[in-house]
Structure 1
Amino acid sequence: MQPTFVLVHGAFANSFSFAPLQAELGLLGHRSVAVDLPGHGFAATYPRAYQAPQDLAELATAPGDIKGVTLADNAEHLITILERAKRNGPVILLSHSRGGLTATVAANRRPDLIDRLVYVSSWCPVDLPVGAYYAEPEMASVDPTALASALVGNPAELGLLRSNFRTADPAALAAFKAALFADGTDEEFLVLLNTFQPDENLDAGTDQDRARPDTWGRVPRTYVRLTEDASVPPAMQDRMIREGDALTPDNPYDVRTLAGSHLKWLAAPQPAARLLAEIAALLPAGS
Protein backbone atom coordinates (compact mmCIF):
# COMPACT_ATOMS: atom_id res chain seq x y z
CA MET A 1 0.00 0.00 0.00
CA GLN A 2 1.31 3.43 -0.92
CA PRO A 3 2.22 5.61 2.06
CA THR A 4 0.99 9.12 2.71
CA PHE A 5 3.68 11.76 3.17
CA VAL A 6 2.68 14.23 5.89
CA LEU A 7 4.77 17.40 5.45
CA VAL A 8 5.49 19.81 8.32
CA HIS A 9 6.85 23.28 7.61
CA GLY A 10 9.39 25.36 9.48
CA ALA A 11 9.32 28.78 11.12
CA PHE A 12 7.30 31.56 9.41
CA ALA A 13 6.40 29.08 6.66
CA ASN A 14 3.20 27.19 5.84
CA SER A 15 1.81 24.48 3.61
CA PHE A 16 2.14 26.69 0.52
CA SER A 17 5.91 26.21 0.36
CA PHE A 18 5.42 22.47 -0.22
CA ALA A 19 3.27 22.88 -3.35
CA PRO A 20 6.09 22.25 -5.89
CA LEU A 21 7.30 19.20 -3.94
CA GLN A 22 3.76 17.83 -3.69
CA ALA A 23 3.37 18.19 -7.46
CA GLU A 24 6.54 16.17 -8.04
CA LEU A 25 5.51 13.53 -5.52
CA GLY A 26 2.11 13.26 -7.17
CA LEU A 27 3.70 12.76 -10.57
CA LEU A 28 5.70 9.90 -9.06
CA GLY A 29 2.47 8.35 -7.77
CA HIS A 30 2.72 9.37 -4.13
CA ARG A 31 0.07 10.82 -1.82
CA SER A 32 0.99 13.80 0.34
CA VAL A 33 -0.61 16.16 2.84
CA ALA A 34 1.01 19.50 3.67
CA VAL A 35 0.16 20.64 7.20
CA ASP A 36 -0.53 24.19 8.36
CA LEU A 37 0.38 24.32 12.04
CA PRO A 38 -1.91 26.49 14.22
CA GLY A 39 -1.72 30.14 13.24
CA HIS A 40 -0.24 29.35 9.82
CA GLY A 41 -1.54 29.32 6.27
CA PHE A 42 -5.05 30.74 6.01
CA ALA A 43 -5.13 30.98 9.81
CA ALA A 44 -2.21 33.43 9.81
CA THR A 45 -2.51 37.08 10.78
CA TYR A 46 -1.53 39.67 8.17
CA PRO A 47 -2.01 43.07 9.81
CA ARG A 48 -3.16 45.86 7.50
CA ALA A 49 0.04 47.67 8.49
CA TYR A 50 1.97 44.86 6.75
CA GLN A 51 0.52 45.94 3.40
CA ALA A 52 2.12 48.66 1.27
CA PRO A 53 2.67 51.40 2.16
CA GLN A 54 3.75 49.79 5.40
CA ASP A 55 3.23 51.36 8.79
CA LEU A 56 6.03 49.86 10.86
CA ALA A 57 4.98 51.61 14.06
CA GLU A 58 1.51 50.06 13.84
CA LEU A 59 2.94 46.72 12.73
CA ALA A 60 5.08 46.64 15.86
CA THR A 61 2.01 46.61 18.10
CA ALA A 62 -0.75 44.98 16.05
CA PRO A 63 -2.05 41.76 17.68
CA GLY A 64 -1.52 38.37 16.07
CA ASP A 65 -3.63 35.23 16.45
CA ILE A 66 -0.57 33.03 16.91
CA LYS A 67 0.04 34.58 20.33
CA GLY A 68 -0.14 31.87 22.98
CA VAL A 69 0.20 28.96 20.55
CA THR A 70 2.53 26.37 22.05
CA LEU A 71 4.61 23.49 20.78
CA ALA A 72 2.07 21.23 22.51
CA ASP A 73 -0.69 22.84 20.42
CA ASN A 74 1.32 22.19 17.26
CA ALA A 75 1.86 18.55 18.20
CA GLU A 76 -1.80 18.01 19.08
CA HIS A 77 -2.86 19.45 15.72
CA LEU A 78 -0.35 17.28 13.87
CA ILE A 79 -1.48 14.16 15.71
CA THR A 80 -5.08 14.70 14.57
CA ILE A 81 -3.83 14.79 10.98
CA LEU A 82 -1.66 11.70 11.48
CA GLU A 83 -4.66 9.84 12.88
CA ARG A 84 -6.67 10.58 9.76
CA ALA A 85 -3.79 9.78 7.40
CA LYS A 86 -3.09 6.47 9.14
CA ARG A 87 -6.59 5.22 8.26
CA ASN A 88 -5.41 5.07 4.63
CA GLY A 89 -2.22 3.12 5.22
CA PRO A 90 1.42 3.81 6.14
CA VAL A 91 2.49 7.33 7.09
CA ILE A 92 5.85 8.99 6.46
CA LEU A 93 6.17 12.13 8.57
CA LEU A 94 8.55 14.67 7.03
CA SER A 95 9.64 17.84 8.80
CA HIS A 96 11.81 20.77 7.77
CA SER A 97 13.77 23.10 10.01
CA ARG A 98 11.77 24.14 13.11
CA GLY A 99 9.03 21.71 12.07
CA GLY A 100 11.26 18.98 13.47
CA LEU A 101 10.37 20.08 16.99
CA THR A 102 6.69 19.38 16.33
CA ALA A 103 7.42 16.10 14.54
CA THR A 104 9.56 14.92 17.44
CA VAL A 105 6.91 15.66 20.06
CA ALA A 106 4.29 13.90 17.92
CA ALA A 107 6.56 10.85 17.65
CA ASN A 108 7.17 10.94 21.41
CA ARG A 109 3.42 10.84 22.00
CA ARG A 110 2.08 8.66 19.19
CA PRO A 111 4.78 6.52 17.56
CA ASP A 112 2.05 4.12 16.48
CA LEU A 113 0.86 6.66 13.89
CA ILE A 114 4.21 7.00 12.10
CA ASP A 115 5.89 4.39 9.92
CA ARG A 116 8.97 6.51 9.19
CA LEU A 117 10.27 9.89 10.30
CA VAL A 118 12.13 12.05 7.80
CA TYR A 119 14.02 15.10 9.01
CA VAL A 120 15.19 17.48 6.26
CA SER A 121 17.84 19.74 7.82
CA SER A 122 15.50 19.70 10.75
CA TRP A 123 15.75 20.13 14.51
CA CYS A 124 15.55 16.97 16.60
CA PRO A 125 16.95 17.84 20.04
CA VAL A 126 18.35 14.99 22.10
CA ASP A 127 21.09 16.25 24.43
CA LEU A 128 19.95 19.88 24.84
CA PRO A 129 16.82 22.01 24.52
CA VAL A 130 16.78 23.55 21.05
CA GLY A 131 17.67 27.06 22.18
CA ALA A 132 20.88 25.85 23.81
CA TYR A 133 22.20 24.47 20.52
CA TYR A 134 22.58 28.00 19.18
CA ALA A 135 25.46 28.56 21.60
CA GLU A 136 27.24 25.39 20.47
CA PRO A 137 30.29 25.38 18.13
CA GLU A 138 28.31 23.81 15.27
CA MET A 139 26.28 27.03 14.99
CA ALA A 140 29.29 29.38 15.03
CA SER A 141 28.95 30.10 11.30
CA VAL A 142 25.36 31.32 11.66
CA ASP A 143 24.98 35.11 11.67
CA PRO A 144 22.54 35.82 14.52
CA THR A 145 21.68 39.21 13.04
CA ALA A 146 20.62 37.85 9.65
CA LEU A 147 16.97 37.21 10.45
CA ALA A 148 16.88 39.61 13.37
CA SER A 149 17.43 42.50 10.98
CA ALA A 150 13.76 42.46 9.98
CA LEU A 151 12.20 41.71 13.37
CA VAL A 152 9.39 44.12 14.21
CA GLY A 153 8.14 44.94 17.70
CA ASN A 154 9.02 43.47 21.07
CA PRO A 155 8.37 39.71 21.16
CA ALA A 156 7.73 39.82 24.92
CA GLU A 157 5.02 42.44 24.45
CA LEU A 158 3.54 40.96 21.27
CA GLY A 159 3.66 37.40 22.60
CA LEU A 160 5.02 36.24 19.24
CA LEU A 161 7.87 36.69 16.80
CA ARG A 162 7.17 39.10 13.93
CA SER A 163 9.35 39.64 10.88
CA ASN A 164 8.86 42.08 8.04
CA PHE A 165 9.48 39.83 5.06
CA ARG A 166 8.09 42.55 2.79
CA THR A 167 10.95 44.89 3.60
CA ALA A 168 12.73 46.58 0.70
CA ASP A 169 15.89 47.15 2.75
CA PRO A 170 18.74 45.80 0.57
CA ALA A 171 20.83 44.79 3.59
CA ALA A 172 17.99 42.84 5.19
CA LEU A 173 17.13 41.10 1.91
CA ALA A 174 20.77 40.21 1.35
CA ALA A 175 20.96 38.76 4.87
CA PHE A 176 17.81 36.71 4.31
CA LYS A 177 19.10 35.36 1.02
CA ALA A 178 22.49 34.43 2.45
CA ALA A 179 20.86 32.59 5.34
CA LEU A 180 18.12 30.80 3.44
CA PHE A 181 18.68 30.59 -0.30
CA ALA A 182 22.17 31.69 -1.33
CA ASP A 183 22.16 29.29 -4.28
CA GLY A 184 18.91 30.64 -5.76
CA THR A 185 18.40 33.51 -8.14
CA ASP A 186 17.16 36.80 -6.75
CA GLU A 187 13.82 36.15 -8.43
CA GLU A 188 13.47 32.66 -6.94
CA PHE A 189 14.42 34.01 -3.53
CA LEU A 190 11.77 36.74 -3.61
CA VAL A 191 9.09 34.27 -4.70
CA LEU A 192 9.82 32.00 -1.75
CA LEU A 193 10.19 34.90 0.67
CA ASN A 194 6.71 36.07 -0.28
CA THR A 195 5.23 32.73 0.78
CA PHE A 196 6.41 33.44 4.33
CA GLN A 197 4.06 34.90 6.90
CA PRO A 198 5.03 37.63 9.35
CA ASP A 199 4.25 35.86 12.65
CA GLU A 200 5.65 32.81 14.43
CA ASN A 201 4.94 31.43 17.89
CA LEU A 202 7.48 31.83 20.66
CA ASP A 203 7.34 28.39 22.28
CA ALA A 204 10.14 26.04 21.24
CA GLY A 205 9.45 23.51 23.98
CA THR A 206 11.28 22.33 27.09
CA ASP A 207 13.56 19.50 28.15
CA GLN A 208 10.48 17.26 28.16
CA ASP A 209 10.13 17.72 24.39
CA ARG A 210 13.43 16.13 23.41
CA ALA A 211 13.44 12.82 21.56
CA ARG A 212 12.65 9.89 23.86
CA PRO A 213 14.16 6.46 23.26
CA ASP A 214 11.09 4.47 24.32
CA THR A 215 8.68 6.11 21.86
CA TRP A 216 10.36 8.32 19.25
CA GLY A 217 13.27 5.91 19.27
CA ARG A 218 11.10 3.03 18.04
CA VAL A 219 10.22 4.74 14.76
CA PRO A 220 12.49 4.12 11.74
CA ARG A 221 13.98 7.43 10.66
CA THR A 222 15.89 9.16 7.90
CA TYR A 223 17.89 12.38 8.11
CA VAL A 224 18.31 14.31 4.85
CA ARG A 225 21.36 16.56 5.03
CA LEU A 226 21.44 19.80 3.03
CA THR A 227 25.04 20.46 2.06
CA GLU A 228 24.92 24.27 1.72
CA ASP A 229 22.51 25.11 4.53
CA ALA A 230 23.57 28.32 6.28
CA SER A 231 20.67 28.29 8.78
CA VAL A 232 21.13 24.77 10.14
CA PRO A 233 24.74 24.14 9.11
CA PRO A 234 25.86 20.65 8.06
CA ALA A 235 27.89 20.41 11.27
CA MET A 236 24.72 20.82 13.32
CA GLN A 237 22.77 18.46 11.09
CA ASP A 238 25.49 15.87 11.68
CA ARG A 239 25.27 16.48 15.42
CA MET A 240 21.52 15.81 15.33
CA ILE A 241 22.29 12.52 13.58
CA ARG A 242 25.01 11.53 16.07
CA GLU A 243 22.85 12.32 19.07
CA GLY A 244 19.91 10.35 17.71
CA ASP A 245 22.10 7.38 16.89
CA ALA A 246 23.65 7.44 20.36
CA LEU A 247 20.18 7.55 21.95
CA THR A 248 18.96 4.49 20.03
CA PRO A 249 21.98 2.68 18.57
CA ASP A 250 19.80 -0.22 17.47
CA ASN A 251 17.72 2.14 15.35
CA PRO A 252 20.14 4.58 13.68
CA TYR A 253 19.28 7.20 11.11
CA ASP A 254 19.26 6.30 7.45
CA VAL A 255 21.30 9.28 6.24
CA ARG A 256 20.80 10.88 2.82
CA THR A 257 22.23 14.06 1.31
CA LEU A 258 20.88 16.71 -1.04
CA ALA A 259 23.00 19.49 -2.49
CA GLY A 260 21.77 22.97 -1.74
CA SER A 261 20.69 25.58 0.75
CA HIS A 262 17.95 25.63 3.37
CA LEU A 263 15.24 26.35 0.78
CA LYS A 264 16.67 25.16 -2.55
CA TRP A 265 15.09 21.71 -2.25
CA LEU A 266 11.64 23.34 -2.06
CA ALA A 267 12.16 25.58 -5.09
CA ALA A 268 13.73 22.84 -7.23
CA PRO A 269 12.06 19.74 -5.76
CA GLN A 270 12.71 17.04 -8.35
CA PRO A 271 15.80 15.58 -6.58
CA ALA A 272 14.00 15.67 -3.23
CA ALA A 273 10.93 13.94 -4.67
CA ARG A 274 13.05 11.17 -6.17
CA LEU A 275 14.87 10.73 -2.86
CA LEU A 276 11.57 10.55 -0.97
CA ALA A 277 10.33 7.90 -3.40
CA GLU A 278 13.44 5.87 -2.52
CA ILE A 279 12.71 6.33 1.18
CA ALA A 280 9.11 5.19 0.69
CA ALA A 281 10.47 1.97 -0.78
CA LEU A 282 12.16 1.25 2.59
CA LEU A 283 8.80 0.59 4.25
CA PRO A 284 8.26 -3.11 4.97
CA ALA A 285 6.11 -4.94 2.46
CA GLY A 286 2.51 -5.00 3.57
CA SER A 287 2.87 -2.14 6.02
Structure 2
Amino acid sequence: MTSATAARPTFVLVHGSGGSSYMWAPVQRELALLGHRSLAVDLPGHGPDAQYPLAYQAPQDLDALAVEPSTLAGVTLRDNADMVADTVRRVAEHGPVVLVGTSLGGMTTTVVGNEIPGLIDRTVSISAWSCVRRGNPIEYMAVPECADSLFAGLVAFNVGDPSVLGVGRSNYRTADPDLLATLKAATMAEATDAQFMALVNILQPDESMAVIGGDGRGHADTWGTIPRSYIRLTNDRSIPLALQDLLIAEADELTPDNPYDVHTLESSHAGFVLQAPKVAGILDGLAL
Protein backbone atom coordinates (compact mmCIF):
# COMPACT_ATOMS: atom_id res chain seq x y z
CA MET A 1 0.00 0.00 0.00
CA THR A 2 1.39 3.39 -0.99
CA SER A 3 1.48 6.24 1.51
CA ALA A 4 -1.04 8.16 -0.65
CA THR A 5 -3.45 5.23 -0.56
CA ALA A 6 -3.01 4.74 3.18
CA ALA A 7 -3.77 8.43 3.79
CA ARG A 8 -7.18 8.12 2.16
CA PRO A 9 -9.95 7.13 4.56
CA THR A 10 -12.02 4.00 4.61
CA PHE A 11 -15.75 4.70 4.86
CA VAL A 12 -17.50 2.39 7.33
CA LEU A 13 -21.20 2.43 6.46
CA VAL A 14 -23.95 1.57 8.98
CA HIS A 15 -27.52 0.80 7.87
CA GLY A 16 -30.80 1.72 9.52
CA SER A 17 -33.82 -0.17 10.82
CA GLY A 18 -34.79 -3.20 8.77
CA GLY A 19 -31.77 -2.66 6.58
CA SER A 20 -28.48 -4.37 5.86
CA SER A 21 -25.22 -3.83 4.05
CA TYR A 22 -27.07 -4.48 0.77
CA MET A 23 -28.61 -1.00 0.76
CA TRP A 24 -25.19 0.63 0.53
CA ALA A 25 -24.21 -1.11 -2.74
CA PRO A 26 -24.96 1.89 -5.03
CA VAL A 27 -22.97 4.26 -2.79
CA GLN A 28 -20.09 1.80 -2.48
CA ARG A 29 -19.93 1.45 -6.25
CA GLU A 30 -19.62 5.21 -6.67
CA LEU A 31 -17.05 5.48 -3.88
CA ALA A 32 -14.96 2.79 -5.55
CA LEU A 33 -15.11 4.67 -8.85
CA LEU A 34 -13.70 7.68 -6.99
CA GLY A 35 -10.87 5.57 -5.61
CA HIS A 36 -12.16 5.07 -2.06
CA ARG A 37 -12.27 2.02 0.18
CA SER A 38 -15.55 1.31 1.96
CA LEU A 39 -16.97 -1.35 4.22
CA ALA A 40 -20.71 -1.74 4.79
CA VAL A 41 -21.48 -3.60 8.00
CA ASP A 42 -24.36 -5.91 8.85
CA LEU A 43 -25.43 -5.18 12.40
CA PRO A 44 -26.08 -8.24 14.61
CA GLY A 45 -28.96 -10.30 13.23
CA HIS A 46 -29.01 -8.47 9.88
CA GLY A 47 -27.87 -9.29 6.37
CA PRO A 48 -26.95 -12.98 5.93
CA ASP A 49 -27.94 -13.59 9.57
CA ALA A 50 -31.44 -12.18 9.11
CA GLN A 51 -34.52 -14.17 10.08
CA TYR A 52 -37.23 -14.66 7.48
CA PRO A 53 -39.74 -17.08 9.05
CA LEU A 54 -41.64 -19.49 6.84
CA ALA A 55 -44.82 -17.77 7.98
CA TYR A 56 -43.49 -14.56 6.37
CA GLN A 57 -43.35 -16.17 2.93
CA ALA A 58 -46.20 -16.55 0.44
CA PRO A 59 -48.81 -17.66 1.25
CA GLN A 60 -48.41 -15.93 4.58
CA ASP A 61 -49.60 -17.21 7.92
CA LEU A 62 -49.98 -13.99 9.92
CA ASP A 63 -51.22 -15.77 13.03
CA ALA A 64 -48.06 -17.87 13.13
CA LEU A 65 -45.89 -14.89 12.25
CA ALA A 66 -47.36 -12.93 15.17
CA VAL A 67 -45.92 -15.40 17.69
CA GLU A 68 -42.75 -16.64 15.96
CA PRO A 69 -39.79 -15.96 18.31
CA SER A 70 -37.29 -13.47 16.92
CA THR A 71 -33.55 -13.97 16.72
CA LEU A 72 -33.24 -10.21 17.23
CA ALA A 73 -35.03 -10.26 20.57
CA GLY A 74 -32.54 -9.17 23.20
CA VAL A 75 -30.05 -7.65 20.76
CA THR A 76 -29.15 -4.30 22.28
CA LEU A 77 -27.69 -1.01 21.15
CA ARG A 78 -24.59 -2.04 23.09
CA ASP A 79 -24.33 -5.18 20.93
CA ASN A 80 -24.53 -3.07 17.77
CA ALA A 81 -21.94 -0.61 19.04
CA ASP A 82 -19.53 -3.33 20.13
CA MET A 83 -19.68 -4.92 16.69
CA VAL A 84 -19.10 -1.65 14.83
CA ALA A 85 -16.38 -0.52 17.26
CA ASP A 86 -14.51 -3.76 16.61
CA THR A 87 -14.82 -3.14 12.87
CA VAL A 88 -13.51 0.41 13.25
CA ARG A 89 -10.53 -0.80 15.28
CA ARG A 90 -9.56 -3.24 12.56
CA VAL A 91 -10.10 -0.74 9.74
CA ALA A 92 -8.12 1.96 11.58
CA GLU A 93 -5.01 -0.21 11.28
CA HIS A 94 -4.98 0.71 7.58
CA GLY A 95 -5.55 4.45 7.81
CA PRO A 96 -8.19 7.09 8.61
CA VAL A 97 -11.81 6.08 9.23
CA VAL A 98 -14.98 7.96 8.32
CA LEU A 99 -17.97 6.44 10.11
CA VAL A 100 -21.25 6.93 8.26
CA GLY A 101 -24.71 6.14 9.64
CA THR A 102 -28.20 6.57 8.27
CA SER A 103 -31.55 6.55 10.06
CA LEU A 104 -31.47 4.27 13.15
CA GLY A 105 -27.82 3.50 12.37
CA GLY A 106 -27.02 6.97 13.69
CA MET A 107 -27.60 5.72 17.23
CA THR A 108 -24.96 3.04 16.78
CA THR A 109 -22.41 5.40 15.22
CA THR A 110 -22.95 7.90 18.03
CA VAL A 111 -22.37 5.30 20.74
CA VAL A 112 -19.25 4.11 18.91
CA GLY A 113 -18.08 7.73 18.84
CA ASN A 114 -18.53 7.86 22.59
CA GLU A 115 -16.42 4.73 22.97
CA ILE A 116 -13.48 5.20 20.58
CA PRO A 117 -13.36 8.85 19.44
CA GLY A 118 -9.61 8.69 18.83
CA LEU A 119 -10.02 6.09 16.09
CA ILE A 120 -12.65 7.98 14.09
CA ASP A 121 -11.56 10.86 11.84
CA ARG A 122 -15.09 11.99 10.99
CA THR A 123 -18.68 10.91 11.53
CA VAL A 124 -21.34 11.45 8.86
CA SER A 125 -25.07 11.31 9.54
CA ILE A 126 -27.40 10.85 6.57
CA SER A 127 -30.78 11.87 8.01
CA ALA A 128 -29.77 9.85 11.05
CA TRP A 129 -30.85 9.63 14.66
CA SER A 130 -27.82 11.42 16.07
CA CYS A 131 -29.35 12.04 19.47
CA VAL A 132 -28.18 14.53 22.08
CA ARG A 133 -30.91 15.77 24.45
CA ARG A 134 -33.13 12.69 24.11
CA GLY A 135 -31.96 9.13 23.98
CA ASN A 136 -33.81 7.59 21.04
CA PRO A 137 -36.43 7.99 18.30
CA ILE A 138 -39.30 7.09 20.63
CA GLU A 139 -38.49 10.07 22.83
CA TYR A 140 -38.14 12.40 19.84
CA MET A 141 -41.52 11.39 18.43
CA ALA A 142 -43.19 13.73 20.92
CA VAL A 143 -41.42 16.92 19.80
CA PRO A 144 -43.25 19.39 17.52
CA GLU A 145 -40.58 19.01 14.82
CA CYS A 146 -41.75 15.42 14.34
CA ALA A 147 -45.35 16.38 13.60
CA ASP A 148 -45.01 15.89 9.84
CA SER A 149 -43.51 12.43 10.12
CA LEU A 150 -45.39 9.59 8.45
CA PHE A 151 -43.77 7.11 10.83
CA ALA A 152 -46.97 6.68 12.87
CA GLY A 153 -48.77 5.45 9.77
CA LEU A 154 -46.31 2.58 9.45
CA VAL A 155 -47.57 1.02 12.71
CA ALA A 156 -50.24 -0.65 10.59
CA PHE A 157 -47.50 -2.90 9.18
CA ASN A 158 -46.92 -4.39 12.65
CA VAL A 159 -47.56 -8.05 13.30
CA GLY A 160 -47.53 -9.38 16.86
CA ASP A 161 -46.97 -7.64 20.18
CA PRO A 162 -43.56 -5.91 20.42
CA SER A 163 -43.60 -6.17 24.22
CA VAL A 164 -43.85 -9.96 23.89
CA LEU A 165 -41.66 -10.50 20.83
CA GLY A 166 -38.97 -8.01 21.88
CA VAL A 167 -39.00 -6.63 18.33
CA GLY A 168 -41.07 -4.48 16.09
CA ARG A 169 -42.17 -6.88 13.33
CA SER A 170 -43.35 -5.37 10.06
CA ASN A 171 -45.07 -7.29 7.31
CA TYR A 172 -43.28 -5.70 4.35
CA ARG A 173 -44.65 -8.47 2.13
CA THR A 174 -48.20 -7.24 2.49
CA ALA A 175 -50.20 -6.81 -0.70
CA ASP A 176 -52.26 -3.97 0.79
CA PRO A 177 -51.90 -1.10 -1.72
CA ASP A 178 -52.72 1.59 0.84
CA LEU A 179 -50.07 0.38 3.28
CA LEU A 180 -47.48 0.15 0.53
CA ALA A 181 -48.37 3.66 -0.64
CA THR A 182 -47.84 4.96 2.90
CA LEU A 183 -44.48 3.21 3.14
CA LYS A 184 -43.40 4.63 -0.20
CA ALA A 185 -44.38 8.16 0.84
CA ALA A 186 -42.48 7.75 4.11
CA THR A 187 -39.31 6.24 2.69
CA MET A 188 -38.81 6.62 -1.06
CA ALA A 189 -41.49 8.87 -2.53
CA GLU A 190 -39.50 9.86 -5.62
CA ALA A 191 -38.81 6.28 -6.69
CA THR A 192 -40.57 4.42 -9.43
CA ASP A 193 -42.78 1.60 -8.25
CA ALA A 194 -40.14 -0.87 -9.43
CA GLN A 195 -37.38 0.91 -7.49
CA PHE A 196 -39.56 1.06 -4.39
CA MET A 197 -40.41 -2.64 -4.53
CA ALA A 198 -36.71 -3.43 -4.89
CA LEU A 199 -36.17 -1.61 -1.60
CA VAL A 200 -39.10 -3.37 0.09
CA ASN A 201 -37.73 -6.75 -0.88
CA ILE A 202 -34.43 -6.24 0.94
CA LEU A 203 -36.04 -4.98 4.14
CA GLN A 204 -36.02 -7.30 7.15
CA PRO A 205 -39.25 -7.68 9.09
CA ASP A 206 -37.78 -7.43 12.61
CA GLU A 207 -35.95 -4.71 14.52
CA SER A 208 -35.00 -4.96 18.17
CA MET A 209 -36.98 -2.80 20.56
CA ALA A 210 -33.91 -2.72 22.82
CA VAL A 211 -32.08 -0.90 20.02
CA ILE A 212 -34.92 1.46 19.12
CA GLY A 213 -35.47 2.32 22.79
CA GLY A 214 -31.81 2.41 23.82
CA ASP A 215 -29.83 5.45 24.91
CA GLY A 216 -27.90 6.75 21.91
CA ARG A 217 -26.99 10.22 23.18
CA GLY A 218 -23.68 11.70 22.13
CA HIS A 219 -21.36 12.98 24.85
CA ALA A 220 -19.50 16.26 24.53
CA ASP A 221 -16.13 14.96 25.70
CA THR A 222 -16.06 11.93 23.37
CA TRP A 223 -18.40 11.86 20.38
CA GLY A 224 -18.53 15.64 20.50
CA THR A 225 -14.79 15.94 19.82
CA ILE A 226 -14.96 14.15 16.43
CA PRO A 227 -15.35 16.29 13.29
CA ARG A 228 -18.87 15.62 12.06
CA SER A 229 -21.04 16.17 9.00
CA TYR A 230 -24.79 15.91 8.50
CA ILE A 231 -26.47 15.29 5.15
CA ARG A 232 -29.97 16.73 5.38
CA LEU A 233 -32.66 15.13 3.20
CA THR A 234 -35.22 17.78 2.35
CA ASN A 235 -38.10 15.48 1.36
CA ASP A 236 -37.75 13.03 4.25
CA ARG A 237 -41.14 12.12 5.72
CA SER A 238 -39.76 9.66 8.27
CA ILE A 239 -37.33 12.06 9.98
CA PRO A 240 -38.74 15.39 8.74
CA LEU A 241 -36.34 18.16 7.82
CA ALA A 242 -37.36 20.20 10.87
CA LEU A 243 -36.41 17.27 13.10
CA GLN A 244 -33.10 16.81 11.30
CA ASP A 245 -32.39 20.48 11.90
CA LEU A 246 -33.29 20.07 15.58
CA LEU A 247 -30.79 17.21 15.91
CA ILE A 248 -28.13 19.37 14.24
CA ALA A 249 -28.91 22.36 16.49
CA GLU A 250 -28.82 20.30 19.68
CA ALA A 251 -25.43 18.85 18.77
CA ASP A 252 -24.03 22.24 17.86
CA GLU A 253 -25.24 23.62 21.20
CA LEU A 254 -23.52 20.72 22.95
CA THR A 255 -20.16 21.46 21.29
CA PRO A 256 -20.28 24.96 19.78
CA ASP A 257 -16.58 24.83 18.93
CA ASN A 258 -17.15 21.71 16.82
CA PRO A 259 -20.37 22.28 14.85
CA TYR A 260 -21.77 20.09 12.13
CA ASP A 261 -20.56 20.56 8.56
CA VAL A 262 -23.97 20.52 6.85
CA HIS A 263 -24.89 19.34 3.36
CA THR A 264 -28.32 19.06 1.75
CA LEU A 265 -29.88 16.70 -0.80
CA GLU A 266 -33.37 16.80 -2.28
CA SER A 267 -34.24 13.28 -1.26
CA SER A 268 -36.63 11.15 0.73
CA HIS A 269 -35.51 9.04 3.69
CA ALA A 270 -34.06 6.15 1.69
CA GLY A 271 -34.11 7.86 -1.69
CA PHE A 272 -30.52 9.01 -1.31
CA VAL A 273 -29.42 5.61 -2.64
CA LEU A 274 -30.98 6.65 -5.95
CA GLN A 275 -28.57 9.60 -5.93
CA ALA A 276 -25.48 7.57 -5.13
CA PRO A 277 -23.13 9.70 -7.27
CA LYS A 278 -24.15 12.81 -5.32
CA VAL A 279 -23.77 11.07 -1.98
CA ALA A 280 -20.38 9.70 -2.95
CA GLY A 281 -19.39 13.15 -4.17
CA ILE A 282 -20.17 14.66 -0.77
CA LEU A 283 -18.23 11.89 1.00
CA ASP A 284 -15.34 12.32 -1.43
CA GLY A 285 -15.18 16.01 -0.54
CA LEU A 286 -15.02 15.15 3.16
CA ALA A 287 -12.05 12.89 2.53
CA LEU A 288 -9.80 15.74 1.39
Q: TM-score, normalised by structure 2?
A: 0.95
User: Does structure 1 conserve the Cα–Cα contact (< 8 Å) formed by 2:151 and 2:238?
Assistant: no
Segments of structure 1 that go 5 or more residues without pairing to the other structure are: 282-287
Partner of 1:95: 101
Per the alignment, in what secondary structure is the counterpart of residue 217 of structure 1? helix
1:132-211 matches, cutoff 5 A: 132-203=139-210, 204-207=212-215, 209-211=216-218
| Equivalent-residue separation in structure 2 for 1:121 and 1:144 (angstroms) | 14
TM-score scaled by structure 1?
A: 0.95
Count of matched residue pairs: 280
Letter in 1 for 2:225: R
Equivalent AA in structure 2 for residue 212 of structure 1: H
| 1:75-114 matches, cutoff 5 A | 75-114=81-120
RMSD: 1.0
Instruction: Provide the identity percentage.
Output: 51
Separation of aligned partners in 2, 1:206 and 1:71: 6
Amino acid at match of 2:194: E
1:211 is paired with a residue whose SS is coil
Corresponding position of 1:285? none
2:151 and 2:287 map into 1 onto residues whose CA distance is 36
1:145, CA displacement in angstroms? 3.5
Residue 128 of structure 1, CA deviation: 1.6
> Hey, what does 2:268 align to over in structure 1?
261
The answer to whether the Cα contact below 8 Å between 1:111 and 1:218 also exists between their aligned partners in 2 is: yes
Deviation at 1:227, TM superposition (A): 0.8
Bigger mean CA offset, 264-273 vs 231-240: 264-273
Q: Is 1:23 the equivalent of 2:26?
A: no
1:198 Cα deviation (Å)? 0.7
Distance 1:276 1:197 in 2: 27
CA distance in 1 between partners of 2:116 and 2:134 (Å): 22
The C-alpha deviation readout for 1:180-227, integer Å capped at 9, x for no partner, is 0111111111001111011111123555x3110000011000011001
1:141-167: CA deviations, max 9, x gaps?
A: 113432111111111111111101111
Q: Deviations over 1:54-107 (max 9, x none)?
A: 111111111111110000000001101001110110000000001000000000
Residue number among 37, 41, 45 corresponding to 1:35 in the alignment: 41
The alpha-carbon deviation at position 44 of structure 1 amounts to 0.9
Q: For 1:145 and 1:264, locate their aligned partners in 2 and report how far apart those are by CA, in whole Å.
A: 19
Determine the C-alpha separation between the residues in 1 that align with 2:52 and 2:89. 30
